[in-house]
Every structure is written in C-alpha cells, then in structure tokens.
Amino acid sequence: MSVPLQIANTVTDLIQGDVREHLPLERIPLRGDVLGLGTTSGWDNGELTFLQEGEAGDTRIWKSQPADGRVLALEPGSGLQHFPYVCFSGDATALRRPAPPACLGPRPGVPLQERIAEAMALLRQEGVLEAAPIYGLRLRARWQSLVITVASKLCLGELRRNEGVARLLPGGAAARAVGASIYERLPHFRLSAQDPADPADPVRWLGASLHWEGCGFWDTRPESGRVTVPVADAHLHLHGCSTDLRHGGHLHHEHPDSRLADLEQLVLYPLQQLQHLASDLAVSEAHWQGGELRFTVANHGSLDASDVDVAVVIDDRFSDHRHLCLPWLEAGGWERFAMPLPLPAGRHELVVVVDPEHRILEPGDRRDDNRARLVVHSDG
C-alpha cells in the first residue's frame, strides 16, 4: 500500500526565512493514523505535533507555544492556523512496523537517533521494513532530562532568504550557518526532575514532565532539507508532547543535556511516495483599451500565498513601474484588476508580472505563465 507524504515547502525553505506560502489546517485530512509535523505562521508561532487519539482513533494536531512550551489542540475554523511548513501523510495504519522488544527498554548513554537506527537495521534484517526515502515514526519514551525548542518569529520573517546567513558562524558552511542562525536562537526549554537553578543557564526549566509521545520523520537524505535540518547526519526530526499534555515542541534529542532513560515504544512507517506542495501563480486575460489595463492574477497551486507582488512595466522602464500587492491569494483563487493606465500616443509594450522578484516559492517550470506581454497602440 502506498501512502503519500505531502510536503508543504521544506525545512530549508523555512530556515532561510520569509516563507510566504501557507497550508491551512482545514486541508489536512486527519482520519486515522496521520503522521506529521510542522510550524505555524509568523503571527501565530509554534511547533505542530500530530498525535493519534488511541491506536484506533483519528489524529489531532497539537501546537506548542513559543513563550512557555505549553500545548493546545488545534481546531479547524479558527482562522489562524496557516502553516508555512508542514509535512503529513495519509492514513498510514497499514504501514505500521513496530520495533521488536529487543530494540526497546533502557540503554543508558545511547542517543535516541542511534537507538532508532539500530531498530531500523534489525527490522530490515528480519525482512519486515521496506526500503523507503523517508520513514515516519511514532514513539513513547521516558527521559532523564530533555531539551526542547519552539519556533518563534525569528525563523518566520526576521531573516531574509539567503541573506547574510553564511557569515553567522566563522568558517562554517552555509547550511550549517543557516541551521545555527535558527536552532541556536530559538527559545529553549528544559525538562528534568529538578530545577538546575543556575542563573547563568539560558535554558528555561519547565518542570518534571519526562514521559513523552513523539511523531516525526527519518530522512535517508537529510542534506536535501526536505523534512530535517539540512545536515548530512541529522536524519531524525521529531516533535512531541508530554503525556500529561503540559508541554510540547521540537525534541532537541541531539542536545548534550537530552538524556534518554527508556524507549518504551517505537513504530516505523516506510513512506515511498513524496509529493511537494507549492504555489503556482499566473497572469492571464491581459487587455488594454481606452486608457485602462485589465488582467487576472490566479494561484493554480496547492498552497495559499501571502503578500503577492504584481508589477506593470511600460516600455521596459522598470524604474517607474506600477506596483500592486495582494495580501492573500488562496490556492485555486484569483483576482481581477482594472488599472487606469493612460499612455502617450504611439506604440507601447506592456508587461504584467506577478512575483517579479521571485519571493514566492514556485517550481521553475511553473514560472512561464507569471507574466503577460502585450503590444498596444494609443491615440494619446
């Protein structure tokens, strides 16, 4: 059985900043065992965790808050749940591959990613885990101590895409610098049995909720930046909530202060089919007559787009072009415009361009219809 993994933007897109593409909560089907994680929009920040309500129940999305790590359940219809990055499967019940008991239990000092890699190797050896580009996973674990991070506006608008990130770390590669510019600066929280009570510690202590459920993905090519931080050995991206539903966020399992006590349950899901969601902007029906320019801007893609720029260029003079901005253009939506545009007598070339600076993430082969060109003759 093939269950597709839908990826709305990528982690790379998110950490480079200025993501203007969004998927509303209402478009995510949550019937059955749906795997997923994501990040909410700039005005409603937080991390998303997809938890199943019992083994036979449907899935609910929980959002952690950047101020204090507390969690709340998201409900369709509130109008604020627009996700610039999210990945989710269909109902993956038929793909469940439980880890054998030999892979579970306490293993002091062994990091979580290493534990999962061992379980995957054993399941492949037993012939019950198919090869796949990305594996979904669910787990239940108890921690000696755990550090979590929660998304904030830092990574959703305060860094311009591809701008200055390589110099944030001396001598580091650009991808590593991008990762540091985000994950090292996000709000960090600590869960442990006791408050370290260290005034110099920048990691805020939340309490002793050390029993967690997690949902995430293991990418066989993490350097691609699809669902994990684009670093070659960072295969595991995991979000979760404490089982008392007091706290949630990105499980910073690789942090030196995150120490796993007991891996109680691990289920893997081989996901063979990846589908990338994207915006697809277009200009059509451009027509000039009687000193007025009319045209239509549409979004034929699968993601909503915000702050969509439109430029009208006359006779190749971009320096004095006309400019419009659409605050929001939903997937499948369109807007018609009628712009007064008197022209001197003679022949003129008009070009209407949507997203002239390529700030909206679109596949390159879908940009051909982002402009419309017409030659007109004016009587002045």
What's the token pair of residue 289?
């007559």
Q: Report the amino acid identity of residue 296.
A: T
Give the mean model confidence (pLDDT) for residues 281-285.
97
Average pLDDT, the chain: 89
Q: For residue 116, what pLDDT is reported? A: 98
Cα dist from 238 to 106, 272, 319, whole Å: 19, 19, 47
Q: For residue 184, what pLDDT is reported? A: 67
Give the mean model confidence (pLDDT) for residues 82-103.
95
Q: For residue 43, what pLDDT is reported? A: 66
Is the per-residue pLDDT at 75 higher than 60? yes
Q: For residue 42, what pLDDT is reported? A: 65
DSSP state of 79: S
Q: For residue 44, what pLDDT is reported? A: 72
Is the per-residue pLDDT at 85 higher than 90? yes
Cα 176 to its chain centre, rounded Å, is 18
**pLDDT tens per residue, range 15-31:** 777 789 999 999 999 99
Q: For residue 153, what pLDDT is reported? A: 60
Q: Report the amino acid identity of residue 214.
A: G
Is the per-residue pLDDT at 272 higher than 90? yes
Q: With cut-offs at 50, 70 and 90, classify the pLDDT of residue 364.
A: confident
Cα dist from 299 to 185, 333, 365, whole Å: 34, 6, 15
**pLDDT tens per residue, range 165-186:** 333 333 333 333 344 445 666 7
DSSP state of 57: S
Q: Tell me the three state secondary structure of residue 169.
A: coil
Give the mean model confidence (pLDDT) for residues 308-329.
94
Give the mean model confidence (pLDDT) for residues 216-221.
98
Q: For residue 182, what pLDDT is reported? A: 59
Domains of the chain: 5-276 (3.30.1330.80), 278-378 (2.60.40.10)
Nearest to 59 by CA among 6, 138, 116: 138
Measure the CA–CA gap between 36 and 48, rounded to whole angstroms. 8
What's the token pair of residue 13?
């897109």
Q: For residue 183, what pLDDT is reported? A: 64
Is the per-residue pLDDT at 157 higher than 60? no
Q: Of the given ranges (104-118, 164-178, 238-252), which has the lowest mean pLDDT?
A: 164-178
Q: For residue 79, what pLDDT is reported? A: 60
Residue given tokens 């190797």 in the structure block = 121
Burial (CB count <10 Å: 0-12, 13-18, 19+), residue 254: middle
Q: For residue 160, what pLDDT is reported? A: 44
pTM of the predicted model, to two decimals?
Answer: 0.89
**pLDDT tens per residue, range 125-154:** 999 999 999 999 999 999 999 999 998 764
Q: For residue 14, what pLDDT is reported? A: 84
Q: Which residues is 267 bridged to in the sheet?
A: 98, 138
- Name the more confident of 40 and 280: 280
